[in-house]
Amino acid sequence: MAVRRSAGGYCFVFQPRHPHRNRCQYTQPAPSTTKPFNWQQQWYPVAIIDDLDPTKPHPTTLLNKNLVLWYDGTTWNAFLDRCPHRLAALSEGRVEDNKLQCAYHGYEFASSGACVRVPNAADAKSHANALASPRACVESFPTRQARGLLWVWGDSATLELAAATDLVMDDFAEEYVPVGPVLDTMEPFARTVPCMRGVLSSVVFCIYIHLCPHFLIR
Ligand code: FES
C-alpha cells in the first residue's frame, strides 16, 4: 500500500494499475453519533468495605484525585482529601461524632460536605458567616455500597446522573462477583496466617478492578 497526496487530501489506498489511480479511494467514515465515553461520570469500586475501619478516615486515589473515605455512622462518604481552610489532608484528621474533623484547625464537615463547626471563629456571628460560605464546603463525591464494595462516582458535580446510573456489575448475576464468597473460602487459610487476609483481599480486589474496564466497554 502506498500513500500519496491527491487533490482531496492524502490517498491511503493507492492502486498503481487502476485506471482512475489519481482518485483517492479512501472514503471518510461517517461521523460517530455516539457520545464519547466520559471516564469521570462512572461508578468505580475503590475499597472492600470489610477492610475499612469505620472509626478513622482512609486516603485513596481515584482518577488521579486524592480522596478520603470515612464513615458517618450510616454510610461511607468520599471527599476530596483537601480541607477548604488551608488545604490540609483530611485523611490525617479524625472521625468525631459522625463528622470528619480536620487535624489542623479542627474544622468539622458533615457527610454532605458542608462545614458544621469552625472552632476558631471569634463569635457566634462570624461562626455563622463562616458556615454559610460556599468556600467552606469540601468537595463530596456520591458513593454506593454493593457486593461488599464501596463505589465512588468520579464526578462531584453530576449527582443526579450518578443516582440514575446503575453500577456496571448490576447486569451480572451475584455469582459473577464472588468477592465475599472467595474471601470466605480463604478465611481458614487467612486465620492461620493473619497477615494473609489483607494480601488476599488485595489480590481479589485487583482482579476485580482489572475486570471492570472490560465490563465498562460494552
Ligand atoms: S487546614 Fe483544615 S481546618 Fe485549617
Per-residue pLDDT of the chain (218 residues; tens, 9 = 90+): 444 444 444 444 444 455 555 555 666 777 777 788 999 999 999 999 999 999 999 999 999 999 999 999 999 999 999 999 999 999 999 999 999 999 999 999 999 999 999 998 999 999 999 999 989 999 999 999 998 999 999 999 999 999 999 987 655 545 445 455 555 555 555 444 444 455 555 555 555 555 554 444 33
Ligand 1 neighbour 121 (Cβ under 6 A): no
Angle separating helix axes 196-216 and 179-192, nearest 10 degrees: 160
Which pLDDT value is given to residue 14?
45
SS3 call for 61: strand
Which pLDDT value is given to residue 216?
45
Type of residue at 105:
H
Residue nearest to atom 4 of ligand 1 (CA): 105
Q: Residue 46: name the closest of 160, 177, 156, 206 by CA.
A: 206
For a ligand 1 pocket test, name from 80, 102, 133 the mutation site with the most ligand atoms within 8 angstroms of its C-beta.
102
Place of cell 480522596: 67
Ligand 1 neighbour 24 (Cβ under 6 A): no
**Contact call for residues 108 and 101 (beta carbons, < 8 A):** yes
> For the chain, what are the domain ranges?
43-164, 181-217
Going from the Cα of 108 to the center of ligand 1, the distance in angstroms, rounded, reads 9
Q: Tell me how far the alpha carbon of residue 197 is from its chain's centroid.
A: 24
Which pLDDT value is given to residue 8?
44
Query: H/E element holding 203?
Result: helix 196-216
* Angstrom distance (rounded) from CA 168 to CA 37: 14
**Domain 43-164, CATH class in plain words:** mainly beta
Ligand 1 atom closest to the CA of 103, numbered from 1: 2
Ligand 1 atom closest to the CA of 107, numbered from 1: 3
Which pLDDT value is given to residue 42?
95
Which pLDDT value is given to residue 35?
80
For CA atoms 64, 148, 78, 100, the dihedral sign is negative
Which pLDDT value is given to residue 67?
98
